[in-house]
């Protein structure tokens, strides 16, 4: 009588290999983001990214196709993470929206300013900056929708532009860093600037 054979382990091994590859990709992206936020894009060596991720440079290149591909993939992942956080901002709740916005700027405001200062150095950075500006405009249109209700044409365009400007990262920088306001005072200042535009409390 033949003994029963163990079921093939190939599917399990393939799943484990795929999970390990995904984890490696995430480590590389984590390392790329960390290095990117610390120095100009021209000064980012793939060797440092690889060292931080615990892989070889060839692994980075094989996975992402070089620096530009790596930056694009890292930017895509970070953009989605930011979107998930900022999409939590409530509509029609001015203090809640400002709190959500300042949460974002407190975490990433300085790195975003560094990105904007470098956007002319790389098509990938320019695309990322443009994407960020477009998202911020759509965020304002959604979060401040009640303040835009009933407005048409140039009047709506002007009001939306005002809301975008008041909530821009440069306004946060002016209040928080240039004028040295506390986080709480920065939130209050933004609320007071937005109240005449939104009628919010």
DSSP code per residue over 21-65: HHHHHHHHHHHHHHHHTTS-GGG--HHHHHHHHTS-HHHHHHHH-
Its pTM surpasses 0.85: no
Interatomic CA distance for residues 25 and 191, integer angstroms: 41
Amino acid 46: pLDDT:
87
Amino acid 146: pLDDT:
96
Interatomic CA distance for residues 144 and 160, integer angstroms: 9
Mean pLDDT estimate for the chain: 87
Amino acid 4: pLDDT:
55
Interatomic CA distance for residues 31 and 52, integer angstroms: 6
Residue 16: band (very low, low, confident or very high) from pLDDT cuts 50, 70, 90: low
Amino acid 2: pLDDT:
52
The token duo for 78 is: 């970070």
Residue 78: band (very low, low, confident or very high) from pLDDT cuts 50, 70, 90: confident
Residue 114: band (very low, low, confident or very high) from pLDDT cuts 50, 70, 90: confident
Poorest-pLDDT segment among 3-12, 128-137, 174-183, 192-201: 3-12
Going by C-alpha positions, the residue among 195, 148, 127 that lies closest to residue 167 is 195
Q: What is the distance, to the nearest Å, from the Cα of residue 92 to the centroid of all Cα atoms in its chain?
A: 23
Q: Which residues of 107-135 are buried (b: 16+ CB within 10 A; e: fewer)?
A: ebbbebbebbebbeebebbeebbeebeee
- At 155-201, the pLDDT tens digits run 999 999 999 999 999 999 999 999 999 999 999 999 999 999 998 65
Long-range contacts of 64-67 (CB under 8 A, 24+ apart): 64/28
Domains and CATH numbers, the chain: 9-71 (1.10.10.60), 87-201 (no CATH)
Q: Which residues contact 46 (CB under 8 A, 6 or more apart)?
A: 57, 60, 61, 66, 67, 70
Q: Which residues contact 144 (CB under 8 A, 6 or more apart)?
A: 97, 160, 163, 194, 197, 198
Helix (H, G, I), strand (E, B) or coil at 119: helix
């Amino acid at each position: 009588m033949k003994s029963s054979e163990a079921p093939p382990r190939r599917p399990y091994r393939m799943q484990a290999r795929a999970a390990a590859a995904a984890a490696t990709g995430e480590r590389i992206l984590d390392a790329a983001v960390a290095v990117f936020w610390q120095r100009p894009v021209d000064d980012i060596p793939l060797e440092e990214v690889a060292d931080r991720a615990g892989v070889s440079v060839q692994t980075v290149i094989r996975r992402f196709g070089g620096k530009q591909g790596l930056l694009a993939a890292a930017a895509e992942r970070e953009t989605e993470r930011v979107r998930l956080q900022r999409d939590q901002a409530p509509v029609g709740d001015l203090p809640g929206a400002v709190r959500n916005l300042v949460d974002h700027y407190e975490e990433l405001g300085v790195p975003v300013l560094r990105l904007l200062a470098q956007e002319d150095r790389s098509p990938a950075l320019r695309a990322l900056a443009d994407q960020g500006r477009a998202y911020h405009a759509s965020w304002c249109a959604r979060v401040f929708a009640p303040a835009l209700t009933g407005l048409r044409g140039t009047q709506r365009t002007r009001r939306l532009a005002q809301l975008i400007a008041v909530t821009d990262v440069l306004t946060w920088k002016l209040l928080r860093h240039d004028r040295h306001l506390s986080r709480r005072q920065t939130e209050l200042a933004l609320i007071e600037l937005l109240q005449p535009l939104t009628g919010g409390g």
